[in-house]
């Protein structure tokens, strides 16, 4: 039982360390989010639903590409704990 508790505590510590990004990676991700927000605002003003959907899809792609670039900068493409389904370390 004690071994299980120690393993759990160690895992939580590693997850916490792995969720950190460098300042440069944060800037890349923030820029992508800003671009995605601008596209979403344009989507809100789109005259047709098809244009709105296309802009929203483009916004999603820009944000995803920014996250991927930021992750690659810090961990050479490893999956961050915040990207593992079932964890709650995502920031909003």
Tell me, what's the pLDDT at 71? Answer: 87
**CA dist., res. 66 & res. 29, Å (int):** 5
**CA dist., res. 65 & res. 56, Å (int):** 14
Mean pLDDT value across the chain = 77
| Higher local confidence (pLDDT), 78 or 43 | 43
The arithmetic mean of pLDDT across residues 7-23, rounded, is 55
| DSSP symbol at 77 | T
- Give the tokens for residue 42: 């344009």
Tell me, what's the pLDDT at 21? Answer: 74
pLDDT (tens digit, 9 = 90+) per residue, 19-64? Answer: 567 889 999 999 999 999 999 999 999 999 999 999 999 999 999 9
């Amino acid at each position: 039982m004690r071994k299980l508790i120690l393993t759990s505590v160690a895992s939580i510590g590693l997850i916490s360390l792995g969720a950190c990004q460098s300042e440069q990676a944060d800037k890349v991700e923030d820029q992508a989010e800003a671009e995605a927000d601008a596209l979403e605002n344009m989507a809100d003003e789109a005259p047709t639903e098809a244009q709105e959907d296309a802009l929203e899809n483009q916004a999603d792609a820009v944000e995803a590409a920014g996250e991927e670039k930021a992750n690659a900068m810090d961990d050479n493409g490893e999956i961050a704990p915040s990207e593992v389904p079932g964890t709650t370390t995502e920031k909003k």
